[in-house]
Structure 1
Amino acid sequence: MGRPRAFDETAVIKAAASLFASRAYDGISVDDLVTHLGVHRNSLYKVFGSKRGLYLAALRWHLEHQVRPLLAKINAAPDPTRALRDMFVADTAGHDLDLLLLAVAERAPVDSEVAEEVARTMRDFDTAIARTLGGGAATADDGPSPLAYALTSAILGLRLRIRTGVEAVDAGTVLFERIHQPRH
């Protein structure tokens, strides 16, 4: 009979998500993971198979427990535009989109599993944004409007600017106020 696992797998995945959100995948070594997560190298490999296996588990956890709840809050809000703006302003401190952004930029182009996870989440993001515009797709086969895609890109781009230290909160506030203005 093997030894019982000496760590909480969910806690390790959460901590790994935070670490991967703070630095590029290639900028984190297995030694960094072992040191920051407090997990023995052999345990890490036994449970996750590889650094990539841990990354995928961390990304999936991040999307399920950080990004999708933000989108659900937007979809359930009586005023989705205000909820979206509030989520954006709150995210400037919480960094809840950082791992998604890094996955889009660095891992999705070279890893098909990451690309699938990111694509599914981006569709959910576009749908939430389309709701803020007053409706979703015209039919089940249609995607959100080009404006929803553009706004998703703008919101994620503003988050990137904040991540790099460029003040974007004011620009984000203006963007959301413009979305919220009644159309003539």
Structure 2
Amino acid sequence: MVRSAAKLFATRSYDGTSVDDLVSHLGVHRNSLYKTFGSKRGLYLAALKWSLDHEVAGLAERVTAAGGHAEETHDILADAVTGPALDLVLLAAVERAPVDAEVARLVGEAFTALDRAVGAADRAAGNGDGDATATPVAATALLIGLRARSRSGTTDAGTLRADAALARLLGRP
């Protein structure tokens, strides 16, 4: 149920998803939803945590495991840019984090996990010359921005080249 809610929130956003939408989509009774999660926000937090534990953490693990190999890193990042794994954290960052401290904390944890993975890939590629803090943060920001562009339907050749450039930055042949 939490995974299905995460997908719904990642598609429609928190404000764009009503309790009626959740009840209908999840096939549960309103009272069951409230009894289990306390509120729409409670379910949202559970869905966001699920997304971070499964989708964002999985992405971070794959980037780290690629060991800085450019082609493998490119494939992983291309999937992240065009697929839904980052959608809930992206929406949470712009919609709920500015007004909800718990969401802001969770989004921060997601970004930190991605920063660490990108930093590991950067080090594995032998790119120790740059700023060990700034480079991973910039790369994570680029990854999130590329996903926002892709989600908006404005993916073009330049976006795909940016994805490849990010992979080259973090990879070695």
**TM-score, normalised relative to structure 1:** 0.81
- For the pair 1:172 / 2:160, whether they are aligned, the reply is no
Cα drift, residue 115 of structure 1: 1.0
SS of the aligned residue for 1:96 comes to helix
Of 8, 17, 34, 2:23 maps to 34
Structure 1 counterpart of 2:94: 105
Aligned residue pair count: 165
Identity between Structure 1 and Structure 2 (%): 46
Counterparts of residues 64-79 of structure 1 (less than 5 Å): 64-79=53-68
Structure of greater relative contact order (alpha carbons < 8 Å, 6+ residues apart): 2
Cα drift, residue 88 of structure 1: 1.9
Structure 1 counterpart of 2:121: 132
Structure 2: distance between partners of 1:81 and 1:31:
45
**C-alpha contact (below 8 Å) 1:92/1:159 kept by paired residues:** yes
- For the pair 1:55 / 2:9, whether they are aligned, the reply is no
Structure 1: distance between partners of 2:33 and 2:93:
25
Structure 1: distance between partners of 2:42 and 2:73:
32
Q: Which of structure 1's runs of 4+ aligned residues deviate more than 6 A?
A: none
Cα drift, residue 121 of structure 1: 1.5
**C-alpha contact (below 8 Å) 2:122/2:169 kept by paired residues:** no
Structure 1 counterpart of 2:142: 154
- CA RMSD between the two structures: 2.1
**C-alpha contact (below 8 Å) 2:115/2:140 kept by paired residues:** yes
Runs of 5+ in structure 1 lacking a partner? Answer: 1-11
- For the pair 1:23 / 2:23, whether they are aligned, the reply is no
Structure whose alpha-carbon radius of gyration is higher: 1
- Letter of the 2:79 partner, please give it: A
Structure 2: distance between partners of 1:15 and 1:134:
36
Structure 1: distance between partners of 2:78 and 2:167:
11
Runs of 5+ in structure 2 lacking a partner? Answer: none
Structure 1: distance between partners of 2:82 and 2:136:
24
Task: Report the structure, 1 or 2, having the larger helix content.
Answer: 2
SS of the aligned residue for 2:108 comes to helix
- Letter of the 2:168 partner, please give it: E
SS of the aligned residue for 2:136 comes to helix
